[in-house]
Structure 1
Amino acid sequence: MRYKQEQTPLAVIAGKEYGSGSSRDWAAKGPRLLGIRVVIAESFERIHRSNLIGMGILPLEFPQGVTA
């Protein structure tokens, strides 16, 4: 992948409860290995948010009342 070879940081824009359904660390490790450095979402599943931080991915939330 060209982005990965050039070390271009990537972002994910998401809706509500990003990461719900899987509390496994691979749900955060996979995006990290693909070059994702930040996830901007309406809200996060609590454990997944913690896993993102542990993998070095910055979880950011939209201000209240703002949607993706």
Structure 2
Amino acid sequence: MEQGAATSVLLAASPSVAGVGGRSYEDCAEAKPVTERAADTVGGVAPYALDRENAARLWAVSEALVG
């Protein structure tokens, strides 16, 4: 069970990622961008999830929806 929280603990406590933001992590490492996945693969991060313009647009829409 301890391994389930390893990445979260790393990101919360490690000085090696201090000040790092806007990235996705898995298995205690930065997730690699993937454009296609095999049916039995779940790792990686889609490029659109790393797009700053998408993030800004989502934030603006979210603010408008909640007031």
TM-score scaled to structure 1, two decimals? Answer: 0.23
Larger Rg: 2
Structure (1/2) with the larger helix percentage: 2
Structure (1/2) with the larger strand percentage: 1
Higher relative contact order (CA 8 A, sep 6+): 1
